[in-house]
Amino acid sequence: DAKTTQPTSMDCAEGRAANLPCNHSTISGNEYVYWYRQIHSQGPQYIIHGLKNNETNEMASLIITEDRKSSTLILPHATLRDTAVYYCIVRGFYGGSQGNLIFGKGTKLSVKP
């Protein structure tokens, strides 16, 4: 079972920031938080990941709470092309059996004009 809880769906106005929450209260010390998204009929696309510090790249920012039990993915200026299902995944560092990704149902983000 997925170790994360996400809202089923969210709406966001085009040009505004989209803030997608994720709860992972059972995360352990060596587990990372990964975010992927999947646009209809395509393969999942990697967005960002982090361990305990906040992270930013050209796509998004990841804010992880100090106790690491929750995180928020921020898309600073959402566009219509950001409409997708967003998956928050907790995953061990060492890969393999601890590292295959376990996807939940994700959050369906709809960006509206």
Binding residues for other proteins restricted to 49-68, rule: CB under 8 A: 49, 51
Can you tell me which of 29, 43, 58, 81 binds other proteins, judged by CB under 8 A?
Answer: 43
Alpha-carbon distances, residue 56 vs 17, 77, 106 (angstroms): 14, 14, 21
Quick one: 9 or 77, whose CB is closer to other proteins? 9
Q: Which stretch binds other proteins (CB under 8 A): 11-19, 58-66, 70-78, 104-112?
A: 104-112
Q: Which stretch binds other proteins (CB under 8 A): 11-19, 21-29, 74-82, 91-99?
A: 91-99
Secondary structure of residue 65 in the 3-state scheme: coil
In what helix (H) or strand (E) does residue 111 lie, and over which residues does it extend?
strand 107-112
In what helix (H) or strand (E) does residue 21 lie, and over which residues does it extend?
strand 18-23
Instruction: Encode 88-109: b = buried (16+ Cβ within 10 Å), e = exposed.
Output: bbbbeeeeeeeeeeeeeebbbb
Quick one: 10 or 14, whose CB is closer to other proteins? 10
Which parts of this chain interact with other proteins (CB under 8 A)? 2, 32, 34, 36, 41-46, 49, 51, 87, 91, 93, 95-97, 99-106
